DNA sequence: GCCAACGTTGGC
DNA sequence: GCCAACGTTGGC
């Protein structure tokens, strides 16, 4: 099993928006960073778990869990001239950007804020702490387990 | 709104 | 291929 952290600005698309979306599922579009794109395209697999992170807001941190329900396919917004993610250099023959689909699983029993994560030693190696700006990032198994433990969240698998 | 840390662009 | 200039992310 693999684990990821996806960032979203809640004003734009929040974890609650995912909960209320059709089939509690959304396509994750608008990724326009090559490193994040490569992770989405090459590494993110079916049924991988995703920590849903709220960025650029009053309360930044991890709020919930989602799961990958469709692996990488061309991000439709790159061909949409009305989208802010439109990319004129991308073609249908060789699309530059990809999306995946994720589905709502459940919220954490309590939010785990970035401030708390930074304080805890077990997250010292987390990409979120060391690297910061990367909207799709890997989460290790031990980090994943710690997040669930600290927030008293259980997954009935 | 500030600004640090990146990432991207484009001239040479 | 280097690197300066510029743009973006994202915490605070």
Q: Which residues of chain A between 89 and 118 are close to nucleic strand C, CB under 7 A?
A: 114-115, 118
Return positions of chain C under 7 A from a protein CB: 8-12
Q: Nearest nt to A8, CA vs C1'?
A: C10
Q: How many helices (H) and strands (E) does chain A have?
A: 5, 6
- Give me the pLDDT at residue A81, please: 85
Instruction: Identify the pLDDT of residue A92.
Output: 84
Closest residue by C-alpha to C1' distance, nucleotide C10: A56
Both tokens assigned to A135: 């909207």
pLDDT band at A157 (very low <50, low <70, confident <90, very high): low
- Cα A9 to Cα A17, A24, A61, distances in angstroms: 11, 18, 11
Report pTM: 0.93
**pLDDT tens string A65-79:** 999 999 999 999 999
The alpha carbon of A5 is separated from its chain's Cα centroid by a whole number of angstroms, namely 5
Contacts of A11 (CB under 8 A, 6+ apart): A56, A57
Rounded average pLDDT over A86-95: 85
Q: Is the CB of A135 under 7 A from strand C?
A: yes
Instruction: Confirm whether any atom of chain C, the nucleic acid strand, is less than 7 Å from CB of A134.
Output: yes
Q: Is A77 helix (H, G, I), strand (E, B) or coil?
A: helix
C1' (B12) to CA (A96) span, angstroms = 28
Confidence band for A148, pLDDT divided at 50, 70 and 90: very high
Average pLDDT, chain A: 94
Task: Indicate if the pLDDT at residue A89 is higher than 90.
Answer: no
Residue A106 pLDDT level (bands cut at 50, 70, 90): very high
CA A37 to CA A17: how far, in whole Å? Answer: 23
pLDDT for res A102? 97
Q: How far is Cα A1 from Cα A87, in angstroms, rounded to an integer?
A: 33
Stretch A49-77: mean pLDDT, rounded?
Answer: 95
């Amino acid at each position: 099993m693999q684990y990821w952290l996806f960032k979203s600005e809640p004003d734009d698309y929040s974890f609650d928006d995912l909960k209320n979306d059709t089939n509690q599922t959304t396509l994750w579009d608008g990724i326009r960073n090559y490193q994040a794109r490569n992770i989405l395209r090459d590494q993110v697999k079916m049924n991988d778990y995703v920590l849903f992170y709220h960025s650029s807001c009053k309360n930044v941190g991890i709020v919930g869990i989602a799961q990958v329900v469709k692996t990488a396919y061309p991000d439709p917004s790159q061909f949409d001239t009305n989208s802010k993610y439109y990319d004129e250099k991308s073609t249908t023959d060789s699309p530059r950007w990809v999306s995946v689909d994720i589905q709502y699983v459940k919220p954490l029993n309590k939010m785990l804020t970035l401030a708390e994560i930074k304080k805890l030693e077990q997250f010292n190696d987390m990409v979120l702490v060391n690297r910061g700006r990367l909207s799709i990032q890997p989460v290790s198994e031990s980090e994943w387990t710690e997040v669930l433990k600290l927030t008293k969240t259980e997954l009935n698998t």
